[in-house]
Amino acid sequence: MPLYKTNKDIFKDFGEEVFDYRFNKETRYILKTKDWDYKRELKVEDVEIWEVLFEDSWGLGVYAAYEPYAEFYMIKYADSTGNHVYDTHYGAGAQNKIMQFMVSNNIPFNLHDVYVDEDKTWLYFSESEKKIIIT
C-alpha cells in the first residue's frame, strides 16, 4: 500500500503532528494525480503530495513526486545540526540516480514494470539505451 505525505509532513519539526484523512494508514486511498507538463523544472514547493519510497527513524527519507506526477525525486536528511537538508533529481535519468543512491546505501526498494507512453520515453531511457545495435 502506498504511503503519501505532504511537504508539511516531511519537513515538520520534531514532535509536531500533522494529520490528513487522506494519509490515514488504516484506510486505503489511491489518490488522483495529474501529470507535470515539464515546461519548467519542478521544485519541491510545487509538489503537493509525495509518495514515500523509504523513511527511517534517523530522518532519512526518499520520496517521489505524486501530485503533480513527474520524474522528480527528493532525498531528505538531517545535517549534523539537525537542520533539514534535501537533494532533488529531476527529469530524464532521475529514476536511475535514485536507484543508484538506494543501492549504494543499502536501502531496500521494489521494482515494478510500468507502461510508458511513447512521447515520454525520454524521461526513462538515455539516448544510448534507445539505440539498437545489430552485430
Distance of CA 50 to the CA centre of its chain: 6
pLDDT at residue 16 greater than cutoff 70: no
Instruction: State residue 132's pLDDT score.
Output: 45
pLDDT at 73: 96
φ/ψ of residue 8, rounded to 5: -65, -40
What is the full DSSP assignment across 59-87? S-EEEEEEETB-SEEEEEEE-TTS-EEEE
Please give the residue range of the domain that contains residue 95: 4-130
**Total domain count, the chain:** 1
Residue 118: inside a domain: yes
DSSP letter string over 21-49? GGG-TTS-------B---SS---GGG-SE
- Summarize pLDDT for 18-60 with one digit per residue, the tens: 556 555 666 666 677 888 988 999 999 999 989 899 998 888 9
Q: Using alpha carbons only, how large is the chain's radius of gyration in Å?
A: 16
Q: What is the pTM of this model?
A: 0.75
Question: Has residue 104 been placed in a domain?
Answer: yes
